[in-house]
Amino acid sequence: MVKTLKNVYDTMCRRPNIDVCNSWKSFEPFQKWVYANGYEAGARIVRIDKAKGFSPTNTKIIKLKYANNMNHQLRKLIGVDPKCIKIKIL
């Protein structure tokens, strides 16, 4: 699980034009924060305000079961056949 989280962290840090706060410039403080805030394998780590970078005050964790439910509700709302499109919530 740590390897998966490390991959998420590395990807987050490589995203162009999106800052990562100074306290998360190394993996260990980031890892401590996500576990303290309910991270589990498969969860999404997203920015609350897309105009700002990743930081403890602008980041939330969406657990996989909630992300899947949000995808289902959005498809139902806009009338999209799940077989025709895949919606990715970032």
Digit-coded pLDDT (tens) for 13-41: 999 999 999 999 999 999 999 999 988 88
pLDDT tens digits for 26-83? 999 999 999 999 888 878 888 999 999 999 999 999 887 655 555 555 556 555 555 5
Longest dimension (CA), the chain: 43
What pTM was estimated for this model as a whole? 0.67
Neighbour tally for 27: CB within 10 Å: 14
User: CB count, 10 Å around CB of 83?
Assistant: 6
Instruction: Provide the β-strand partners of residue 45.
Output: 61
- Which residue type does 38 have? G
